[in-house]
Chains A and B, each alone.
Chain A
């Protein structure tokens, strides 16, 4: 039977290295690698060597993932609940993107400058709005987790990113591969794939 946990985690991460798949799937690296190799034998994933290489799905892998995820949702009988959560996600999404943009670029005198992070008051205003948005996002995550338990990974990873940012590691808002924005971006992709909506 196809290992949907690792296949679908990689589908939503896109194209990445072993450590990130393991972290997102909440599995050990050794276990994750063994499962990836099994999927590769079935022609569903592939590993590209080179400086920009990593693990990714083949076209067959994407098709198989879409089929299995649709079957999973049908079996759970929670399509309506996931679709409702996606609508609420789409209300929050532009605000999250505004916040990431405000984190990188700072409008002043009609010029959008790169935010050089020398104004602590501005940065803390942005962070406070991230925290406020995260409170509202938590409701969406709870609905999703109740509908399909595998969505629990997003709450865990979003909280981890925000926790590190509020503790002073501000690059975890929008700049690292495990940043709040990147996890959010994967959640967006996951919702589209789960509901079978083309981007």
Chain B
């Protein structure tokens, strides 16, 4: 792998100002002062991590101006092939990276030979995917201008499936459910990153890395600490480790909601990373309102069986049912939580009968999530650690077996599945929210 240094004098010469915005490829370099409008959000994050001394695979960015030109007249920057050749790596990834994040809306290509016509085709497809109807819909709904275009990030491939010391994962620097200062995330050994986010494979908790790859774990903690100090906020990273060597592929600051966001703001102020006025400013009225929705009370002895993605807010307690028929029958004796791999129309009566719904695969925009929200029911999707065995009447996780009928509580905001009947919490009892509100009332006392 070629180490990435500052741009060569030649590339400086080539970046002399021309009429109109620069469309040329820019090597990923800690010396590049450009902002997200030129590097895209993903590219800017990668350059930031390089500046922080974190390991990032070498690569280059094709700016959004090139996308706009391509969509106008079908031309690509002339230096694309040269920039790819200069990487001197056998395979690259080709990813979109708009200035404003549009997760999952545009195309990604992996394992592309940088010296093949496929590279050109991949870049063209990523640019063209800016106009895909789904991406247009996303921009309409999120108020993102249609004329921005996307950057493309071309990077050396690092393989999460290379050997037993390889894998992929995603990590928050703090627990996204509670805001507690401990890394939280999902992990797969000997798998590519796409498997971690697809929801099709049961992931492992991030902490499993500490024992199996202590070097990678230490490097990850170090990186999370650096990005937190830089952004002065909780951060989310995507990473791959190949043969025991860690690489960061993406960073995104923020992204927590409700009580977790409140706790992080208060803790960051206590840690001196932000001042109290900043902590107060970060929490909008909307977020404070979100902090008041009912949640499971997070205590140290809470028995969390699994976590997925909260897909329908609210808390529900009930007995586990593993088929729609069982849910409909059991519901006459009290509340039921329906746990399914995914849902089909054959499950509709079970969804109607259940007090809450958990699926083990799928994301927050699945049929199950839409139906649950239409019915106003708490729902969790993609609880990948669970496996449903209706024939045996058992719900299995890595460490235990729960028979159908076992009481559980689910939190459709944080995505926790907890054994037994857990307490719920409201804003009156949250010391972090009280302190933050105290600061906002110009009362700095604790």
Encode B179-195 as 1/0 by CB contact (under 8 A) with A: 00000000000000000
Interface residues of B in 325-379 (CB under 8 A from A): 325, 327-329, 331-332, 342, 344-349, 352-353, 364-367, 369-371, 373-374
- Select the stretch in B12-20, B27-35, B254-262 that faces chain A: B254-262
The answer to the question of B137 belonging to the interface, with a C-beta cut-off of 8 Å to chain A, is yes
B328 near A199 (CB under 8 angstroms)?
no
A104 to B366 alpha-carbon distance, docked (Å): 13
A15/B324 contact (C-beta < 8 A), A52-B349, A132-B133 known:
yes
Interface residues of A in 130-166 (CB under 8 A from B): 132-133, 136
B332 near A97 (CB under 8 angstroms)?
no
B328 near A48 (CB under 8 angstroms)?
yes
A181/B370 contact (C-beta < 8 A), A52-B349, A98-B137, A111-B286 known:
yes
- Select the stretch in B72-80, B138-146, B297-305, B436-444 that faces chain A: B138-146
**When the two chains form the complex, which single residue of B137, B287, B329, B348 contacts A95, counting CB atoms closer than 8 Å?**
B137
- Select the stretch in A28-36, A68-76, A79-87, A182-190 that faces chain B: A182-190
Encode A100-122 as 1/0 by CB contact (under 8 A) with B: 11101101111111100000000
A188 to B254 alpha-carbon distance, docked (Å): 36
Return chain B residues, CB-CB under 8 Å to A104.
Answer: 370, 373-374
A107 to B347 alpha-carbon distance, docked (Å): 28
A109/B284 contact (C-beta < 8 A), A98-B137, A98-B138, A189-B345 known:
yes
The answer to the question of A13 belonging to the interface, with a C-beta cut-off of 8 Å to chain B, is yes
**When the two chains form the complex, which single residue of B138, B257, B347, B370 contacts A111, counting CB atoms closer than 8 Å?**
B257
A126 to B313 alpha-carbon distance, docked (Å): 21
The answer to the question of A50 belonging to the interface, with a C-beta cut-off of 8 Å to chain B, is yes
A116 to B15 alpha-carbon distance, docked (Å): 50
Return chain A residues, CB-CB under 8 Å to B137.
Answer: 95, 98-99, 129, 132-133
Residue of chain B at shortest CB distance from A189:
B345
The answer to the question of A14 belonging to the interface, with a C-beta cut-off of 8 Å to chain B, is yes
A129/B365 contact (C-beta < 8 A), A50-B328, A111-B287 known:
no
Return chain B residues, CB-CB under 8 Å to A125.
Answer: 140-141
A14 near B284 (CB under 8 angstroms)?
no
B324 near A112 (CB under 8 angstroms)?
no
Chain B interface size range = 35 or more
A112 to B328 alpha-carbon distance, docked (Å): 30
A97/B352 contact (C-beta < 8 A), A110-B255, A111-B257 known:
no
Return chain B residues, CB-CB under 8 Å to A174.
Answer: 370, 373-374
A15 to B138 alpha-carbon distance, docked (Å): 33
A15/B370 contact (C-beta < 8 A), A95-B137, A108-B286 known:
no
CB distance from A169 to the nearest CB of B (A): 14
Return chain B residues, CB-CB under 8 Å to A181.
Answer: 367, 370-371, 374
The answer to the question of B402 belonging to the interface, with a C-beta cut-off of 8 Å to chain A, is no
CB distance from A51 to the nearest CB of B (A): 7
A16 to B347 alpha-carbon distance, docked (Å): 10
A110/B254 contact (C-beta < 8 A), A100-B370, A132-B133 known:
yes
A186 to B371 alpha-carbon distance, docked (Å): 12
Interface residues of A in 54-82 (CB under 8 A from B): 54, 56
The answer to the question of B115 belonging to the interface, with a C-beta cut-off of 8 Å to chain A, is no
Return chain B residues, CB-CB under 8 Å to A112.
Answer: 257
A182 to B373 alpha-carbon distance, docked (Å): 13
CB distance from A182 to the nearest CB of B (A): 8
The answer to the question of A196 belonging to the interface, with a C-beta cut-off of 8 Å to chain B, is no
**When the two chains form the complex, which single residue of B254, B255, B329, B367 contacts A185, counting CB atoms closer than 8 Å?**
B367
Return chain B residues, CB-CB under 8 Å to A94.
Answer: 134, 365
A109/B287 contact (C-beta < 8 A), A12-B345, A52-B328 known:
yes
A contact set with B: CB distance below 8 Å: 12-16, 48, 50-54, 56, 92, 94-95, 97-102, 104-105, 107-114, 125-126, 128-129, 132-133, 136, 174-176, 179, 181-182, 185-186, 188-189, 199
10 smallest beta-carbon distances between A and B, as pairs: A14-B345, A52-B328, A52-B353, A95-B134, A97-B365, A104-B373, A15-B349, A109-B284, A100-B370, A14-B346
Q: List 17 A-B contacts (CB under 8 A).
A: A15-B349, A16-B348, A48-B328, A50-B328, A51-B353, A52-B327, A95-B134, A100-B365, A105-B373, A109-B286, A110-B255, A110-B256, A110-B257, A111-B284, A111-B286, A126-B141, A188-B367
